[in-house]
A and B are shown apart, each in its own frame.
Chain A
Amino acid sequence: MQDWISMPLVGFPLVASIVLLAFVSNTNESMRKRLSNPIRMASLIFSLLLLAITTGMFFQYFGNVSWEGISFNNYEFAHRYTWIESLGIHWSVGLDALSFPMVWLTTFLLPVTIIATWNEKNGAVYFPILLAMGGALIGVFVALDLFMFYVFWELTLIPMFFLILMWGGKDRKYASQKFFIYTFTASVVMLLGLITLYFFQDSANPLEYAGSMTGRTFDIPTITQHALMENSNGNWYLGANIQKVLFAMLMLGFLVKLPAVPFHTWLPDAHVQAPTGGSMLLAGVMLKMGAYGMFRLPISLFPHALQYFQFVLLAIGMVSLVWGAIVCLGQTNLKKMVAYSSVSHMGVILIGIATMQPMGWAAALFMMFAHGIISPMLFAVCGAFKHHYHSMEIGAMRGMAKHSPWLATSMMFAWMASLGLPLLAGFVAELMMLIALWYFLAAEGLSVFWMVGPALVLAVTAAYYLWSMQRTIFEGGDDTQPPASLGNGPVPDIANPEKLAMIILAFFTIAFGVMPWIALDMMHDWTIQIFEGLVLPILGDFSGGA
């Protein structure tokens, strides 16, 4: 079968971005201004091509795919090329129902981000960097080789670092470095975990795709297969102690990326300082790398350890959920509030994972997807604020409904979607998480007390969202009183490209809220598969522990 992933989805945006950047690198300022428009158009067309490919994949135009039928550890569009043979490293790509929604989401957000930030300054450099970001993100999701996964995992830092550093707000210098160092630190610990895992493979048995120098392999499907065999025999893969340690090391990298309390502090800084486009991709896709990584590696390889750490993860998830929401209440900066709401929503994902229920995992997967559509809209709204009102302070803008009806409507819609209004995408995920948690508590015979956290959070979330809307959209500001931050200038509404982006995002929020099965079916199918393969065999020693 034709390789639809390597060159078209990963290589093309990266190469296109490098070519475009090389093209503008030796031009002067005025030339760069003139080039900005054609480069923006080219970037948009390129990203639409990517979207066309992934959408075609979804509608099965390429190859004979049925996203619902893919069993655990089997991949569609899979291709493997030798990369560094001596170490057992391959360029190995493939998609399953875990990664495909994320890849589609990336290719969907890329053109939307380009449209939403149509008038970003220094566009000749900005739009190619967005493309590179997209290519690197897709690379993370399609990689089926630990080395390749790690390479793309780190590669995403570079374009994001420059997006924050060069287009960010006042404290961008600090924020960009903090972002880079924080996530890099967690990743190198994860890298050591990956390497230790690599060498704990049994080199005495000839492994598939093993390196000539090491006798071990980086190939994820092969490792997963070995782990699956061991785990389903009732043994801990690699033994209890080592499995726990490796689980913890890998999870550290993913928890920081997610981010979960107490590793979340880089996120508000990065978001507040990042430009709108950076925030949209950061919240939309980059955070999901953490959750994706958890499913792909620690959960798939170490289900026993997951069970062992179940309550730790549940606690971290609960704390993230509650803490994120409570901190939101105290924010006066709109973007910071939205950033902390992301922390809260990532807590939902973590709780879903920690329940170890198929529905909880499906909820986590759907939350990844739904939050990937809703949060870019939140940040697009914040960006529009900053752009047109020159302020992010919640108190600084009043009576927006009168001044800027488009912005006010978009804001209201995005806020409602984020607080989980029924029939919008976020609601489905949150409801599923609550049901799964309920199941879990019932199965464990635990007190219903655990439900208080999530329930409380629903109220708190509603409170800060409604409060901020009330302060910005409705209260005050008749026609004679434009917002103070504008001076006496004209009161603007959002520009046409921004309107278009809002409409697209709103449309898909509704679409996936009303018809969640479009994406949920494949996710649910996949979670059933992974659950039957991984968790059911180990439930035998559920009470006894290890």
Chain B
Amino acid sequence: MSNMTTVEPFGDGFVSALCPELILFTGMLLLILVPNLGQGTFRIPGTQIRLPWLLGGTRFKFTSDPRLPAWIASITLGGAFAKVLYTFSQGLERVSIVSESGKELLLVNGFSRIFELIFFGALALAAFSSMNRLQVNGIGAKVSEQELYNNRRQADFYILMVTCALGMSVVALAQDLFVLFIGLELASFSTYVLVAFLKESKVGVESGMKYFIVGSVASGVGLYGLSMLYLWAGSLQFSVLAATFAESGTTALPLIGIGFVLVGFGFKVSAAPFHFAAPDAYSGATSPVAGVLATASKAMGMIGLVRMLLIVAAPESSDGSAVWLVCLGAMAAITMTWGNLAALGSDNPKRMLAYSSVAHAGYMLAALTAVGAWNWDAAVSGDASAAAVAVMTALLFHLVVLVAFKLGAFLVLSLLESEGGASRLSSLGGLAKREPLLAVAMFIFMISLAGVPPMAGFLSKLLVIMGIVRVAVGGMGAEIADGGIYALGDMHWVWWLALLMVINSAISVFYYLRVVVVMFFDEPEQGREGPLPNGWQVRVAILACVLTTILVGVAGDSLIRLCEMAAQSLNYNW
């Protein structure tokens, strides 16, 4: 482990530590400024002298191009992604950003970096492929009012994408619950607007409204919990909260407070019973945005859960069981089963993917539960912390690869949407005849979601199950080798979560295969026989997703190691 360096805001090393965020900030400013650059002048009062001041007025040809914001956003997000990737290759450092009064505000380490990778990767892909989804019309020609309106609002969409990324990375970095909430709200409000962005369509507005109301209620409950925690501990620093919890955690006030905070994050990861808005939001939003909700936004919620459950309400290291263990285990079981059963009956591919994303949230919660039991077996000395790291690694790995195949699936739907709707399963009909390669890509995403080897989804599911089983088995292997006698019931009960998880994977195959069958078997809908509309950006993004899905599935070792490094940096007690 590298040593920690402490940096004050705008002090030495501040820029290099927060370089990705500063890139985003610059990009955001550019997005606001550049489309407004024009031949505007400023008349010095009382004179006839006009000084060119470049803002406003007749726009330049270059800055009036409606495609410009999309490119700025894509390059910004892509650049931030590349920068994070580069820091990984440079070896990770641990930089703590401390306020003048000595409070730790942000912490840059492997854990936050891997989440930045997820956020920027997902949003860069989404922004890049939105170029095709949000059409730009009639460049250089006369355009109608509606088309002009569409062109004008391009900038808004991409600004929101970038602010969303900025908020998410603040969540990843935050070491203070309050800072975390600011980041969470910045990202949340961006997504509320993004979901409702197509306000001409009824579905878009309705889903945006639902998502906003449920989301803000969840946030409100979370904030209320926050205030209770402040009342109890007198601080919102994670380190202070954790220390206070270790002393007097099992009293009513902090437990209720933590419970309330978890509602806010539970909504973000769409864990049952806070998942009701998710299917509506996903089906109403444009597909790239829905993809962001299912990947980046979910990862953001997961950070909150991890920080609250594993850092603040940390499991006791003496017997390892956390206070929330049974509660979270039950939630995991309900979430994965509910998600899968609901997805079975859904004819809308986007709703289906939404419910599948609920199911995946259940798998991740099961992994979190296993971490909560990491040290249950008193006989285990050295292996237990390694087990906790293993489960955390699995969780991070799952979140990373989810970006490839879940967002990929949404991008395929996005192509169909720009042709004329993808709200029924039959709109995928005959895709294999219309565009064989696209159908194969969708097939790869589907079986990866189902967890069929050799795709990345299989490896991630395998890692999660392996992590859970590892915790459940504990040190029994060594005991048995020394002549100990154990039965199945001696394992920790989280093993049954693993069993439930594999059964759920089997159920999920039903609805994933249905998509495949429709693509390869059914005839196309009337009037949709030909190839899909052009859009090289989406296709490039889909290709990137397919390649990642296959490559990580076949050779995932380096990514596993990366995630292991990140998992280790989360908690030094492990």
Contact between A86 and B560, CB atoms less than 8 A apart? yes
Contact between A192 and B465, CB atoms less than 8 A apart? yes
Cβ-based interface call for B499 (8 A): yes
Number of interface residues of B (CB under 8 A): 53
For A204, list chain B residues within 8 Å (CB).
Answer: 477-478, 481
One digit per residue, 1 when the CB lies within 8 angstroms of any chain B CB and 0 when it does not, for chain A 121-139 equals 0000000000000000000
What is the count of residue pairs linking A and B with beta-carbon distances less than 8 angstroms? 137
Cβ-based interface call for A542 (8 A): no
For B447, list chain A residues within 8 Å (CB).
Answer: 158
For A196, list chain B residues within 8 Å (CB).
Answer: 469, 473, 495
Cβ-based interface call for A443 (8 A): no
One digit per residue, 1 when the CB lies within 8 angstroms of any chain A CB and 0 when it does not, for chain B 457-468 equals 010001101100
For A201, list chain B residues within 8 Å (CB).
Answer: 477
**B506, closest chain A residue (CB):** A185
Contact between A213 and B560, CB atoms less than 8 A apart? yes
Contact between A151 and B453, CB atoms less than 8 A apart? yes
CA gap between A154 and B461 in the complex, in Å: 14
Cβ-based interface call for A413 (8 A): no
**In residues 183-204 of chain A, which contact B (Cβ within 8 Å)?**
184-185, 188-189, 191-192, 195-196, 198-204
Residue in B389, B486, B561 whose CB lies within 8 Å of A239: B486
For B480, list chain A residues within 8 Å (CB).
Answer: 200, 202, 238-239, 242
Cβ-based interface call for A474 (8 A): no
Contact between B521 and A199, CB atoms less than 8 A apart? no
**B510, closest chain A residue (CB):** A181
Cβ-based interface call for B509 (8 A): yes
**In residues 436-474 of chain B, which contact A (Cβ within 8 Å)?**
436-437, 440, 447, 450-454, 458, 462-463, 465-466, 469-470, 472-473
Cβ-based interface call for B424 (8 A): no
Contact between B486 and A177, CB atoms less than 8 A apart? no
Residue in A199, A214, A242 whose CB lies within 8 Å of B488: A242
CA gap between A173 and B513 in the complex, in Å: 10
For A150, list chain B residues within 8 Å (CB).
Answer: 453
CA gap between A231 and B557 in the complex, in Å: 34
For A199, list chain B residues within 8 Å (CB).
Answer: 466, 469-470, 472-473, 477
CA gap between A238 and B513 in the complex, in Å: 38
CA gap between A158 and B465 in the complex, in Å: 23
Cβ-based interface call for B564 (8 A): yes
Distance in angstroms from B517 CB to nearest chain A CB is: 6
Distance in angstroms from B333 CB to nearest chain A CB is: 15
**In residues 139-160 of chain A, which contact B (Cβ within 8 Å)?**
147, 150-151, 154-155, 157-158
Residue in B383, B386, B505 whose CB lies within 8 Å of A188: B505
Given known contacts A86-B564, A203-B478, is B466 in contact with A214 (CB within 8 Å)? yes
CA gap between A367 and B458 in the complex, in Å: 34
Contact between B520 and A87, CB atoms less than 8 A apart? no
**B447, closest chain A residue (CB):** A158
Where chain A touches its partner, the secondary structure class is helix
CA gap between A63 and B363 in the complex, in Å: 48
Number of interface residues of A (CB under 8 A): 50
Contact between A184 and B506, CB atoms less than 8 A apart? yes
For A195, list chain B residues within 8 Å (CB).
Answer: 462, 465-466, 469, 498
**B486, closest chain A residue (CB):** A239
Cβ-based interface call for B487 (8 A): yes
Distance in angstroms from A519 CB to nearest chain B CB is: 31
Contact between A166 and B499, CB atoms less than 8 A apart? no
Cβ-based interface call for B431 (8 A): no
Contact between A84 and B495, CB atoms less than 8 A apart? no
Given known contacts A192-B469, A202-B477, is B488 in contact with A241 (CB within 8 Å)? yes
Residue in A85, A155, A165, A215 whose CB lies within 8 Å of B521: A165
Select the residue from B454, B499, B502 with max chain A CB neighbours within 10 A.
B502
Contact between A188 and B506, CB atoms less than 8 A apart? yes
Cβ-based interface call for A58 (8 A): no
CA gap between A25 and B466 in the complex, in Å: 37
Distance in angstroms from A486 CB to nearest chain B CB is: 28
CA gap between A198 and B557 in the complex, in Å: 18
Distance in angstroms from A231 CB to nearest chain B CB is: 13
Cβ-based interface call for A480 (8 A): no
One digit per residue, 1 when the CB lies within 8 angstroms of any chain B CB and 0 when it does not, for chain A 258-294 equals 0000000000000000000000000000000000000
Cβ-based interface call for B556 (8 A): yes
Contact between A84 and B556, CB atoms less than 8 A apart? yes
Contact between B437 and A181, CB atoms less than 8 A apart? no
Cβ-based interface call for B297 (8 A): no
Cβ-based interface call for A543 (8 A): no
For B476, list chain A residues within 8 Å (CB).
Answer: 200
Contact between A85 and B557, CB atoms less than 8 A apart? yes
Cβ-based interface call for A245 (8 A): yes
Contact between A158 and B452, CB atoms less than 8 A apart? yes
One digit per residue, 1 when the CB lies within 8 angstroms of any chain A CB and 0 when it does not, for chain B 395-439 equals 000000000000000000000000000000000000000001100
CA gap between A84 and B383 in the complex, in Å: 20
Cβ-based interface call for B375 (8 A): no
Distance in angstroms from B503 CB to nearest chain A CB is: 7
Contact between A200 and B498, CB atoms less than 8 A apart? no
Residue in A147, A151, A173, A241 whose CB lies within 8 Å of B487: A241
For A83, list chain B residues within 8 Å (CB).
Answer: 555, 557
CA gap between A216 and B466 in the complex, in Å: 11
Cβ-based interface call for A162 (8 A): yes
One digit per residue, 1 when the CB lies within 8 angstroms of any chain B CB and 0 when it does not, for chain A 163-183 equals 001100000110011001100
For A154, list chain B residues within 8 Å (CB).
Answer: 452-453, 458
Residue in B485, B488, B510, B520 whose CB lies within 8 Å of A162: B520
Contact between A213 and B564, CB atoms less than 8 A apart? yes
Residue in B458, B473, B478, B557 whose CB lies within 8 Å of A84: B557
Select the residue from A150, A172, A185 with max chain B CB neighbours within 10 A.
A185
One digit per residue, 1 when the CB lies within 8 angstroms of any chain A CB and 0 when it does not, for chain B 376-394 equals 0000000100100110010
Residue in B454, B477, B513 whose CB lies within 8 Å of A181: B513
Cβ-based interface call for A488 (8 A): no
CA gap between A157 and B509 in the complex, in Å: 12
Contact between B477 and A200, CB atoms less than 8 A apart? yes
CA gap between A166 and B520 in the complex, in Å: 7
One digit per residue, 1 when the CB lies within 8 angstroms of any chain B CB and 0 when it does not, for chain A 432-454 equals 00000000000000000000000
| A interface residue numbers (CB < 8 A to B) | 25-26, 83-87, 147, 150-151, 154-155, 157-158, 161-162, 165-166, 172-173, 176-177, 180-181, 184-185, 188-189, 191-192, 195-196, 198-205, 213-216, 238-242, 245
Q: Give 13 CB contacts A-B under 8 Å.
A: A154-B453, A172-B521, A181-B510, A184-B509, A188-B506, A189-B499, A196-B473, A199-B477, A201-B477, A204-B481, A213-B560, A214-B470, A238-B480
Given pairs A213-B386, A213-B389, 5 additional interface contacts (CB within 8 A): A86-B561, A154-B452, A181-B513, A191-B502, A213-B390
